[in-house]
Amino acid sequence: MIPAAFDYERADNAEHALSLLAEHGDEAKLLAGGHSLIPLMKYRLAVPSVLIDIGRIGDLSYVNDGGDALHIGALTRHRDVETNELVRSEAPLLARATSSVGDPQVRHRGTIGGSLAHGDPASDLPSVLLAMRGSVIVTGPSGSRELAADEFFTGFLETAVGPDEMVTEIRIPKAPGAGWSFQKFNRRAQDWAIVGCSVLVDGDTCGVGLVNMDIRPVRASAVEAAVASGADAASAAESAAEGSDPTSDLNASAEYRQHLARVLTKRALEEAGKSSA
C-alpha cells in the first residue's frame, strides 16, 4: 500500500508543466486530483519516477461560454462542473453524469481533465464526451491541437495525448433543448458503473456513449445509425452491444454486460425522447 519512491515537482502554470514533461519524458506522470493515479501507485500498477503536480494551476479551472460550445478548463473539479449554472442549462447530461462520479469527497478533488486523460472505460465522463460529440484541447511544446472524442480514446487507459503533452481544455457543444439521459448500473450506490450509458438526442441526430463495454470508452454507432434511420428506442437499442467487447469480472459476465447495455440504452433513448424539446 506504499507507492514506490518518486520525485515530486510542482508546476506553476501550463508552460512550466510542459517544460517539466519535456525534461523528464516518459518517466513522469501528471498529477491532478490524484483519484485515478494515486490508487494505481499504491498498488504499484503505476510506478512513475517523477510526479508533476498540476493541481494548483488555477487558470485551468473555468467554465466559459465559447459561443457554440462550453469551454471547460482541464483542472475544473467535478463539483464545480456539476454545480455550474452554464453546464446545467447548456449541457445537463454532463452535469448529471458528473454528479454520479464517486462520492462528494471524490468530486471535490477529481478533475474533468484528469478523468478523461485517464482513459478508463469504466469512468462515466468519457461516455458523455462521446454522446455530446465533444472535443479535447491538448497542448504540447509546439502548441495546441483539438481532438474529437472519437480520436481521443485509443486503448486501455490510453489516449491520443502524447508524452510531452497535456490536456488543457474540454469543449462540449451546447445542447440546450436536446433530449438526454444518463443511465448507470451499479452493484451498490456510489460505485463504478458495471455498465453505463449516455444519450443525447438533438433533432435527427443522436449520440450514444457506453461505459465499461470495451477496453476503451466506446460509442454505440449501430444504435445511432438505427435512430437516424427512424427506428424506435426498443429496436434501436437491440444493437447496443454490437461490436462491443466487454470484460468478464467479479461484478458481471461479458454476456450480462451486453444485456445491460441493451436495456440501459433502451431506457436512455426513451427518457431522452421524453425530455427532448
Contacting positions for other proteins (CB under 8 A): 1-2, 39, 43, 103, 185, 187-192, 250-253, 256, 259-260, 263
3-state secondary structure of 271: helix
Nearer to other proteins, 189 or 277 (CB): 189
Residue 190 CB, nearest approach to other proteins (Å): 5
Nearer to other proteins, 144 or 253 (CB): 253
∠ CA 138-40-114, nearest 5°, is 25
Handedness of CA 261, 195, 75, 107 (dihedral sign): positive
Residue indicated by cell numbers 498529477 = 31
Residue 20 CB, nearest approach to other proteins (Å): 26
3-state secondary structure of 85: helix
Residue 185 CB, nearest approach to other proteins (Å): 7
Residue indicated by cell numbers 452535469 = 95
Residue 47 CB, nearest approach to other proteins (Å): 13
∠ CA 74-80-82, nearest 5°, is 105
Residue 141 CB, nearest approach to other proteins (Å): 36
Nearer to other proteins, 174 or 259 (CB): 259
Residue ranges of E strands in the chain: 7-10, 28-31, 50-53, 63-65, 69-73, 135-140, 143-148, 153-155, 158-159, 166-173, 179-185, 195-202, 205-211, 218-219
Nearer to other proteins, 42 or 56 (CB): 42
Nearer to other proteins, 77 or 184 (CB): 184
